[in-house]
Amino acid sequence: MPKRTDIKKILIIGSGPIVIGQACEFDYSGTQACKSLKDEGYEVILVNSNPATIMTDPDFADRTYIEPITPEIVAQIIERERPDALLPTLGGQTGLNTAVAVAEAGVLEKFGVEMIGATLDVIKKAEDRELFREAMGRINQRVPRSGIARSIEDCFRIAEELSYPLIVRPSFTLGGSGGGVAYNREDLEQIASLGLDLSMIHEVMLEESIIGWKEFELEVMRDRMDNVVIVCSIENIDPMGVHTGDSITVAPAQTLTDREYQEMRDAAIAIIREIGVDTGGSNIQFAVNPQTGEMVVIEMNPRVSRSSALASKATGYPIAKLAAKLAVGYTLDEIPNDITRETQASFEPTIDYCVVKIPRWTFEKFPGTEDFLTTSMKSVGETMAIGRTFAEALQKGLRSLEISRYGFFGDGRNRLDSDPALVEPEIIRSRLRTANSQRIFYLAAALKAGFSIEEINELTGIDPWFLYHFDRLVKRGREIEALGPLFGSPETAAARTDLAEELLRAKRDGFSDIQLAHMWGWKEDQIRSLRKSLGVNSVYKLVDTCAAEFEAYTPYYYSTYEEEDEIRSTDRKKVIILGGGPNRIGQGIEFDYCCVHASFALREMGIESIMVNSNPETVSTDYDTSDRLYFEPLTKEDVLNIIEKEKPLGVIVQFGGQTPLNLAVPLAEAGVNILGTSPDSIDRAEDRERFQVMLKKLGLVQPPNGTAMTVEEATKVAAEIGYPVVVRPSYVLGGRAMQIVYDVDSLAGFVRYAQEASEGHPILIDKFLEDAIELDVDAVSDGHRAIIGGIMEHIEEAGVHSGDSACALPPHSLSAQLIETIKEAAKAMAKELNVIGLMNVQFAVKDDELYVLEVNPRASRTVPFVSKATGLPLAKVATRVMLGQSLDDQGIFDEPAPKHVSVKEAVFPFNRFPGVDTILGPEMKSTGEVMGIDSEFGLAYAKSQMATGEMLPLEGNIFISVRDRDKKMAVKVARRFADQGFKIIATRGTAQAIAEAGVEVETVNKVFEGRPHVVDLIKNGRIHFIANTSLGHRTVIDSISMRRTALLYKIPYVTTMAGALATAQACEALRNHKITVKTIQEFHQVD
């Protein structure tokens, strides 16, 4: 039956900012959905607050609202747009929850909007743990025993019945936030109270623990004729107890017999029918008792998910695209399989390779939180690798992680190899027993130390199937190592007849050239050239959904070492784009956005675009984004292999963030043509000394600075420049281990901390510019002329990492003259560095003096934001520039001058990391961003806050507590709030300053001053907004409990006075205006 013609206009809700548990995968699925619904002739209306997404590009939906995803705003959009249907299943948990709220508020009924994909009933049945259990009972599926609690008292009562340990799981939350394992009464109280709070309906479920059972997922699709297919099975290497998002997983399932697999498949089909998802995809999780085969159902997500994105990439079956088509009435047998063309989507993909997904964590950024994994997800990204065997895929996956590792072990980068203290048996045991981000490497260490597979199985619960492969790799490692002395040097080895065979065997197990080089004491390049001379080369195979049963037309490749190479090369002009690898803090979706734009621009120019990336969540790894896709690690070895096969015109390294940028020099040395800004220019911007020379030449200034290798040197340098100083390691990303140091006493500690983060590299020490305004500038240059894409004025002062501070475009407090100076400075640097492509500069303005903080001759995190704010697609312009089209050729003369104000705000993962301070500093901690756009700053800022989930108060009590330096500003903030009728509450010193200025204020105790104190007030719901700054380490620790409480109780808070003032402005704007909504297309039209 064909698609529905009774609906014409469809509203899609996106998933908002990137947070832990909800990342780019929803841009991937949303983009697919928008594209396919538009292709079908529907008018697509989109709401998503995340500017870094491809889906919010003006061409993807007919009308795009970059507005907060709140029920109120979505209701307004519905009223304005009058869509026929709402598709809630593509925007993750956010999309689903918002749709539920809008439906329950009666908005859909009022405006005659039909929910398609999943109805309200279905969503509730799947998401409400109690309803779900009942449903499972009806179809005789076992679920873990459990009880539902709505209060702590309920919890204790249920605990009596079920016995510890207990799994605490809140209803309607995502990525397991607010959940955990309670081993005793105290744990239970702590975890459950948080969970109750985070649950949208104040409900948690306590569950019998089945920690250690095998965990599986099935991706299921169903159409309205009740045809059901299983797209993919996924097996978690980490058993139950570790969130699937934090587990290393494998596709397809490895340890199930057909009988067990089919039983699971039958259950999945029964479940999707019972829950009633009648068009679209669902993810269903199961656990299996390894001793008895008993199977239980864990949960179902009635929507596309992180796992469905993974399943799509793992099989080539585009779940989100099909979900969208099924939602408008197609059936599976009416939709062609893009990859084989001759067959339809109504089949089950079968694969002839092994896929391994490995999560990427960033515990190092959150000191104070322990590195262990539980039922609540903590990873910020993931990488996927494809190999013909598990061993090969695992090692490829580990070198895709971007943690400077090149395999399971033996790459010379493993601290466990070099530090015997770390591999004491007891330490190994404890690191194996409790899952953690390093467990995979401890597994290698344990096997090397002679632990038996049985013991490791007992400690970890990891299935012996996987342990066998780990063990085999360790044994292979020993064999390979033993060849070292036999082979001697590359010269002597070349004479041996067994060399080629041994190399090939090692490559087939996924060993990298770096591992081999390390184990044999050679250089990576020596391995490579020997390999080449012996013809031991990678071949490329297709991901084709059907294990080669049918011919495939989609060029989606992975490498392996086998006989047949399936690459169909062309003679067309082609360019390789290197992607950014797994998401992590500091390098995320923004860079993928740029890569995707590069690909689109190339295709528009008639040049074949070839994407290389290893991140399964992204749009860049969608098989139809580029002309060819290589799902491969971004290492020199893997990339060079592809370049040698494809022989492109050149390679684009400046869009994928630091990952490809780091490859620029090695690739150039290997003779690869790097398009755009030369590696030498990149080096001039990154190398401290060369950079200083350039600034001097241009008459620009930097904050006074110096470098040090030791604490003593650092003390000397700091004394020379004067405190406060910024201390940071070199060669790191996202402000890693960067600290502001106010006095000599605390210097040594911070220097050591920085040294740990980047061993063997100098420590950089800068004069800290206090109370300076920070600016971000994005420009694009063709080598002759540069244009400024946008100048962003940060809300927070310098000292808060640019990725973490809010910013406004255009700047709201700078003089026209200063803006001119900034533009001139940026252009002068672009010219001097001979930038061809994108460039980002961070400036600080203090006392009307302009300082250059850093220059990045590459795409920056703000490129998508600027493009959305101005309508100028910077990354595309830059791509064309890199391929020789000057700005003149492109007809780009005017710099954009938008009449509206755009505000970017960062979103933080603090709620995932218990005990971590929420204060902002020079080390970046945010995972994502939102955008607010409106006619004036106050409204745009208010929208940005709403979009992060912050509910700005319109009345009530404002709490202010600041360090001395901020007292003057505190008065200003207090007055601004008081004028609006808010009541001001402050700690003693701050209160005094405010009172002296004649503003009415109530004094409250600090936590250590006795009760009732400020935390009591927060808990009692008496405080509606918090502005708190603190100085140095001492007060920071004193005020942590207050900030954590605010976080838990969801009280909006800011940790800078600039932020407080902006909030006051936003509250004012909210009180004076009704929020209105407008599409990005309308905003761009006006300009």
Partner 1 sequence: MESKKAILALADGKVFQGCSFTGPGETWGEIVFNTSMTGYQEVLTDPSYTGQIVSMTYPHVGNYGINEQDMESERIRVEGFILREYHPVPSNWRSRQALSEFLTAAGVLGITGIDTRALTRHLRERGAMTGFISTEDLDPDSLVEKARRAPTLDNRDLVKDVTCKQPYVWVPDENGGRREFNPAAIEDWTRTRGRYRVAAMDYGIKFNILRLLAAHGAAVLVLPAATPPDEVLGYNPDGIFLSNGPGDPAAVTYVYENLRGLLGQRPIFGICLGHQMLGLAMKGSTFKLKFGHRGANQPVKDLTTGKIEITSQNHGYCVDMDSLAGQDIRLTHVNLNDNTLEGLADEKRGFFSVQYHPEASPGPHDASYLFERFIKLMRK
Ligand X SMILES: Nc1ncnc2c1ncn2[C@@H]1O[C@H](COP(=O)(O)OP(=O)(O)O)[C@@H](O)[C@H]1O
H-helix or E-strand containing 321?
A: helix 319-327
Q: Which is nearer to partner 1, 163 or 257 (CB)?
A: 257
348 touches which of ligand X, Mg ion, partner 1, none (CB within 5 to 8 A by kind)?
A: partner 1
Q: Which of residues 401-460 bind partner 1 (CB under 8 A)?
A: none
477 touches which of ligand X, partner 1, Mg ion, none (CB within 5 to 8 A by kind)?
A: none
Residue with nearest beta carbon to Mg ion: 802
Residue 842, C-beta contacts closer than 8 angstroms, at least 6 positions apart = 774, 775, 776, 777, 802, 852, 853, 854, 855
Q: Which of residues 201-260 bind partner 1 (CB under 8 A)?
A: 225-227, 229-230, 252-259
Taking contact as CB under 6 A, which single stretch among the options 100-108, 202-210, 435-443, 1023-1031 is the one that binds ligand X?
202-210
Task: Report whether 826 contacts 777 (CB < 8 A).
Answer: yes
Q: Shortest CA distance to 87 belongs to which of 9, 15, 13, 17? A: 13
Cα separation of 723 and 740, whole Å?
9
Choosing from 83, 461, 581, 734, the residue that interacts with ligand X (CB under 6 A) is 734
Retrieve residue 539's tokens: 């071949």
Distance, C-alpha 608 to centroid of its chain: 28
659 lies in the site for ligand X, by CB under 6 A = no
Instruction: Find residue 360's DSSP bridge partners.
Output: 381
At its nearest, how many Å lie between Mg ion and the CB of residue 711? Answer: 25
Q: Shortest CA distance to 944 belongs to which of 795, 797, 812, 734? A: 795
At its nearest, how many Å lie between partner 1 and the CB of residue 265? Answer: 6
One symbol per residue from 849 to 888: x for binding ligand X (CB under 6 A), - otherwise; what is it?
Answer: ----xx----------------------------------
Choosing from 922, 932, 938, 953, the residue that interacts with ligand X (CB under 6 A) is 922
191 lies in the site for ligand X, by CB under 6 A = no
At its nearest, how many Å lie between partner 1 and the CB of residue 346? Answer: 5
Task: Report whether 779 contacts 832 (CB < 8 A).
Answer: no
At its nearest, how many Å lie between partner 1 and the CB of residue 319? Answer: 16
State the CB neighbour count (10 A cutoff) for residue 255. 16
308 lies in the site for Mg ion, by CB under 5 A = no
Q: Shortest CA distance to 821 belongs to which of 697, 904, 699? A: 699
Choosing from 56, 119, 171, 802, the residue that interacts with Mg ion (CB under 5 A) is 802
Q: Which of residues 148-167 bind ligand X (CB under 6 A)?
A: 167
Length of the chain: 1087
354-360 and 556-560 strand pairing: unpaired
Task: Report whether 616 contacts 582 (CB < 8 A).
Answer: no
Cα separation of 333 and 434, whole Å?
46
Residue 250: what are its φ and ψ, rounded to 5°?
-130, 140
Task: Report whether 599 contacts 625 (CB < 8 A).
Answer: yes
Map residue 857 onto helix, strand or coil.
Answer: coil
Distances (CA, A) of 886 to 89, 392, 1073: 43, 44, 44
Choosing from 352, 501, 669, 889, the residue that interacts with partner 1 (CB under 8 A) is 352
Number of residues that bind Mg ion (CB under 5 A): 1
Task: Report whether 896 contacts 832 (CB < 8 A).
Answer: no
Cα separation of 387 and 883, whole Å?
34
One symbol per residue from 504 to 543: x for binding partner 1 (CB under 8 A), - otherwise; what is it?
Answer: -------------------------------------x--
Q: Which of residues 61-100 bind partner 1 (CB under 8 A)?
A: none
Compute the chain's Rg from CA coordinates: 28
One symbol per residue from 252 to 291: x for binding ligand X (CB under 6 A), - otherwise; what is it?
Answer: ---------------------------------x------
At its nearest, how many Å lie between Mg ion and the CB of residue 854? Answer: 5
171 lies in the site for Mg ion, by CB under 5 A = no
353 touches which of partner 1, ligand X, Mg ion, none (CB within 5 to 8 A by kind)?
A: partner 1
Choosing from 184, 344, 710, 813, the residue that interacts with partner 1 (CB under 8 A) is 344
549 touches which of ligand X, Mg ion, partner 1, none (CB within 5 to 8 A by kind)?
A: partner 1
Retrieve residue 1006's tokens: 């600090």
One symbol per residue from 383 to 402: x for binding partner 1 (CB under 8 A), - otherwise; what is it?
Answer: -----xxx------------
Cα separation of 970 and 978, whole Å?
12
Q: Which is nearer to partner 1, 185 or 478 (CB)?
A: 478
Q: Which is nearer to partner 1, 386 or 596 (CB)?
A: 386
Taking contact as CB under 8 A, which single stretch among the options 286-294, 490-498, 643-651, 751-759 is the one that binds partner 1?
286-294
Q: Which is nearer to ligand X, 287 or 639 (CB)?
A: 287
One symbol per residue from 991 to 1030: x for binding ligand X (CB under 6 A), - otherwise; what is it?
Answer: ----------------------------------------
553 lies in the site for partner 1, by CB under 8 A = no
At its nearest, how many Å lie between partner 1 and the CB of residue 343? Answer: 5
Q: Shortest CA distance to 916 belongs to which of 424, 378, 502, 399? A: 378
Task: Report whether 584 contacts 666 (CB < 8 A).
Answer: no
Distance, C-alpha 935 to centroid of its chain: 30
Residue 215: what are its φ and ψ, rounded to 5°?
-115, 135
Retrieve residue 662's tokens: 């780091």
Q: Which is nearer to ligand X, 211 or 427 (CB)?
A: 211
Retrieve residue 461's tokens: 């619960």
Choosing from 29, 48, 64, 209, the residue that interacts with ligand X (CB under 6 A) is 209
Choosing from 27, 411, 463, 793, the residue that interacts with partner 1 (CB under 8 A) is 463
Number of residues that bind partner 1 (CB under 8 A): 53
Cα separation of 54 and 321, whole Å?
15
Number of residues that bind ligand X (CB under 6 A): 41
240 lies in the site for ligand X, by CB under 6 A = yes
Distance, C-alpha 890 to centroid of its chain: 33
Angle made by CA atoms 46, 47, 49, in degrees to the nearest 5: 140
Taking contact as CB under 5 A, which single stretch among the options 234-242, 336-344, 789-797, 801-809 is the one that binds Mg ion?
801-809
463 touches which of partner 1, ligand X, Mg ion, none (CB within 5 to 8 A by kind)?
A: partner 1
Cα separation of 950 and 930, whole Å?
12
Map residue 297 onto helix, strand or coil.
Answer: strand
Largest CA distance in the chain: 90
Cα separation of 173 and 150, whole Å?
15
Map residue 247 onto helix, strand or coil.
Answer: coil
Where are the alpha helices (H) located in 811-897, listed in sequence order? Answer: 816-832, 863-870, 874-882
At its nearest, how many Å lie between ligand X and the CB of residue 769? Answer: 4
1084 lies in the site for partner 1, by CB under 8 A = no
One symbol per residue from 358 to 397: x for binding ligand X (CB under 6 A), - otherwise; what is it?
Answer: -----------------x----------------------
363 lies in the site for partner 1, by CB under 8 A = no
At its nearest, how many Å lie between ligand X and the CB of residue 202? Answer: 17
229 touches which of Mg ion, ligand X, partner 1, none (CB within 5 to 8 A by kind)?
A: partner 1
Q: Shortest CA distance to 666 belongs to which of 768, 852, 525? A: 525
Residue 476: what are its φ and ψ, rounded to 5°?
-60, -40
Q: Shortest CA distance to 636 belongs to which of 675, 691, 596, 578? A: 578
At its nearest, how many Å lie between ligand X and the CB of residue 799? Answer: 4
Binding site for Mg ion (CB under 5 A): 802
Q: Which residues bind ligand X (CB under 6 A)?
A: 144, 167, 169, 175-176, 207-211, 215, 240-244, 285, 298-299, 375, 703, 726, 734-735, 738, 766-769, 772, 774, 798-802, 842, 844, 853-854, 922
Q: Residue numbers of the site for partner 1 (CB under 8 A)?
A: 225-227, 229-230, 252-259, 261-262, 265-266, 290-293, 332-333, 342-344, 346-354, 388-390, 463-465, 468, 541, 546-551, 562-564, 566
